[in-house]
Amino acid sequence: MKCVDSSEVMRLFAGKLSVERAELVNTHFDHCDQCAVLRDEIGAMTSRLQHDPDEFKDEAAALEVMTLIRMGKAEKPEVVPSRFLFWKSWQTWLLVPATAAATAVLMMVLWSPTKQDATDGFQARGAETINLNAWVSLQVFRAGKNGYEPVRDVIAADDALAFSYLNRSDSQLRYLAVFAVDNQGEVFWYYPPNVDAGNSPGSVSVQSGAQPIELPEQVAHHLRIGLLRIFGVFSKDPLSVQFIEAQAGRDFVTSQTVERMTRVSLPDVGQYSLLLRVENEMDREPN
């Protein structure tokens, strides 16, 4: 056979040659010193990537990790059933007139824009291309001292968040996942709240209707200071947490910042996203 070129040797190293061709090339090396030199050169380059067995052994680093774990610093965010707190917060609002006014504002926030969008979606597009995003929305609340407050654009790093959703898809979108992505691309899960053991984690079945419905848990993460985007993804079929996370990861890599990452590329879903600024509790004005 003819001599091989470096590109073919690299194809061999990359496992791209057919078994027959690889065999031929390997036999050729036995007879042709020139080609064998080429193989050895590329082999030497790749073998330099290998490390001495102890180069990356770091017991001190492992010990630090174990110390954090023993101190309980690596545990999952706490999840508290929030129904009671919701009720309590409503009670507070009823008692305090000023905050009762806030309730009215909140209801308007929940209603008007989505209603408008949904109508636009219907009129502008045919049945097949209806914009599923127009049917759904999400309202974020933070647990404050006086109960729940709707979140507009700022939260504190360790705020417990709770959510209500509006799903006007007439049962077409039956599953919901709520998560946040920060500007390091880390994903934080809110719903399902505790991505947990045996039961395969996935988006959870939700209702649809004309009323906002609250999610049963509040979740606190230790968030990074900076921008955070919260996503509510409503889907026709349950989506696995891992699948969504992988897709969100890819989208983040593409858009590089959460400001630009307004959607997660998922087929056949309605989604709603909200960009928030995470601040230290100290930096926030008391309200």
Partner 1 sequence: MTESVSIHLVETRAPKTLGDLSDDDLMLLVKADRRDAFEALMRRHQPLVFGIATRFLGDRALGRDVMQDVFLSLWRERGRYKASGRFRSYLVSMTLHRCHMVSRNRKSQDRRVSALARAQEETPHNERLPIDVVVEQERSRGLRRMLLGVPEHHRQVLILRFAEDLGLEEIAEATSLPLGTVKSHLFRGLKTLRKVVQKESSS
CA distance 170 to 234: 12
Q: Give Cα 15 to chain centroid, integer Å.
A: 34
Q: How far is the CB of 33 from Zn ion (least distance, A)?
A: 8
Say whether residue 70 binds partner 1 (CB under 8 A).
yes
* Cβ distance to partner 1 smaller for residue 62 or 94: 62
CA distance 152 to 137: 14
Query: Residue 287 binds which one of Zn ion, partner 1, none, with CB within 5 to 8 A depending on kind?
Result: none
Contact of 226 with 180, CB cutoff 8 Å: no
Query: Residue 84 binds which one of partner 1, Zn ion, none, with CB within 5 to 8 A depending on kind?
Result: none
Query: Residue 69 binds which one of Zn ion, partner 1, none, with CB within 5 to 8 A depending on kind?
Result: partner 1
Query: Residue 201 binds which one of partner 1, Zn ion, none, with CB within 5 to 8 A depending on kind?
Result: partner 1
Residues 17-46 that bind partner 1 (CB under 8 A): 42, 45-46
- At a CB cut-off of 8 Å and minimum separation 6, what does 92 contact? 99, 146, 147
Say whether residue 275 binds partner 1 (CB under 8 A).
no
Place of tokens 């027959």: 20
CA distance 71 to 69: 5
Question: Can you give the binding site for Zn ion, defined by CB under 5 A?
Answer: 3, 32, 35
Q: How far is the CB of 41 from partner 1 (least distance, A)?
A: 8
Q: Is the dihedral of CA 30, 32, 37, 38 positive or negative?
A: negative
Residues in the interface with partner 1 (CB under 8 A) total 55
Contact of 82 with 218, CB cutoff 8 Å: yes
Q: How far is the CB of 80 from partner 1 (least distance, A)?
A: 18
Say whether residue 76 binds partner 1 (CB under 8 A).
yes
* Cβ distance to Zn ion smaller for residue 3 or 69: 3
CA distance 28 to 36: 8
CA distance 52 to 151: 53
Q: Which residues contact partner 1 by CB under 8 A? A: 6-7, 10-11, 13-16, 42, 45-66, 68-70, 74-76, 183-186, 194-197, 200-201, 224, 241-242, 246, 249, 252-253, 256
